[in-house]
Copies of this chain bind each other. A is one copy, B any other.
Amino acid sequence: MDTKIKAAIIGASGYSGEELLRILLKHEAVEVTCITSRQYAGQTIGEVFPRFAESTLKFSAPSIDEIASSSDVAFLALPHGVAAEFAVPLIEKGLKVIDISADFRLKSKEKYKQYYGAEHPAPHLMEMSVYGAPERKREMIKGAQLVACPGCYPTSITLPLHPLLKEGLIESDNIISSSMSGVSGAGRKVAVDYIFPECNESVRPYGVTGHRHLPEIEQELAESAGVEDVKINFIPHLIPVNRGIHSTIIAKLKDGVTPDDIYNCWQKYYKDESFVRVLPKGKLADTKHVTLTNICEIAFACDEHTGNIILSSAIDNLTKGASGQAVQCMNILFDLDETTGL
């Protein structure tokens, strides 16, 4: 037992926190030592989440000292802004920090301010943070102290696009992603827009210009394409499912690129990846295939009619889109088999 990784979950009462608990409580190499929640401090885990009633953990109010003394790694499942407040002292105390919030995803302070409406709360940490996309940045994650887990939408969009941009099979201009998310993507947020009768039998777009995930997606796609700047249309929708994101992405195929080229490119990048499933040609992704898994399912169709390619990707927004990917990063950080517990 001594050799288990001691993990703290800061902000454990939201959906990302609950999903971390689901994974880590069964993770053979991890002991969850500390779970914090201001709202539920003092309550047992079973009182808040009956699903975990068999555990004896208790929520505590967050205390840097307590977290630092009890843990090797801290997962921050907090709102942006608040996450940075915890990251700073925990990093100073030598913990590894895996941040599920948006605080350390962007490399540009200007973009942060533009999209989040405030100065970045800890700019000195922006450079040391590593963007936690294992399929692209595995080696960098290994040595990181601060990992910024990708957003849910960005994960579903960058995984299918990265190899195609990297290999120059598609244009990096005029990419469009029409994405659909289950309601847990809004967090365990109590607002009239998210009560059952307002979501059920409804589908609606939101944040169709200037969504906070937009600069993150563009930053990562620009890196994949090796260009300075990429501009896309990212159009999220809310649909009446609990978990799952599907992204339908439209891009311009470069001249002469064939369906086989696409398929082979994906195979080259992903055939040894445990958490990317390239579907056979002719199939399209479906969120129900990946619910409660850490897998991103990707598929495509080339449209001769317009010369565009249509990409289809599906993830569980709370697993590969948040907490599962966070644990995947932790496995890398601590030199475990990347699939442990997932």
Contact = CB atoms under 8 A, between A and B. Distances in A.
Interface of A: 15, 46-47, 50-51, 53-54, 174, 176, 178, 180, 182-184, 188-192, 194-206, 208-210, 214, 231-233, 235, 237, 239-244, 246, 248, 250, 274, 277, 279-280, 283-293, 297, 301-306, 308, 310, 312, 314
Given A180-B237, A196-B183, A204 B303 contact: no
B201 A244 contact: yes
A209 B240 contact: no
B303 A202 contact: no
Contacts of A302: 209
A159 to B, nearest CB: 16
A221 B194 CA distance: 36
Contact of A289 (B15, B51, B206, B239): B51
B287 A205 contact: no
A248 B231 contact: no
B180 A306 contact: no
A293 B274 CA distance: 24
A25 B40 CA distance: 37
- The 4 lowest CB-CB distance pairs between A and B, nearest first, are A178-B178, A202-B288, A183-B196, A204-B286
Nearest to A183: B196
A197 B233 CA distance: 28
B232 A203 contact: no
Contact of A250 (B47, B176, B184, B188): B176
Contact of A248 (B195, B237, B305): B237
Given A176-B176, A200-B241, 15 more contacts: A51-B290, A176-B308, A180-B180, A180-B237, A183-B200, A184-B197, A190-B191, A190-B192, A196-B196, A201-B287, A203-B287, A204-B285, A204-B312, A231-B305, A239-B239
20 contacts: A15-B197, A51-B288, A51-B290, A174-B306, A176-B308, A178-B178, A178-B235, A180-B203, A189-B195, A190-B191, A200-B240, A201-B201, A201-B241, A201-B244, A202-B288, A204-B287, A208-B303, A209-B302, A233-B310, A292-B292
How many copies of this chain does the complex contain?
4
A278 to B, nearest CB: 9
A291 B53 CA distance: 14
A22 to B, nearest CB: 10
Most-contacted residue by chain B among A180, A203, A232, A233 (CB, 10 A):
A203
Contacts of A277: 50, 53-54
B203 A312 contact: no
A190 B199 CA distance: 13
A257 to B, nearest CB: 16
Contacts of A310: 205, 208-209, 233, 235
A195 B197 contact: no
Question: Which of A189, A290, A306 has the most chain B CB atoms closer than 10 A to its own CB?
Answer: A306
A239 B242 contact: no
A129 to B, nearest CB: 25
A231 B306 contact: yes
A285 B206 CA distance: 9
Contact of A196 (B195, B301, B308, B314): B195
Contacts of A290: 51
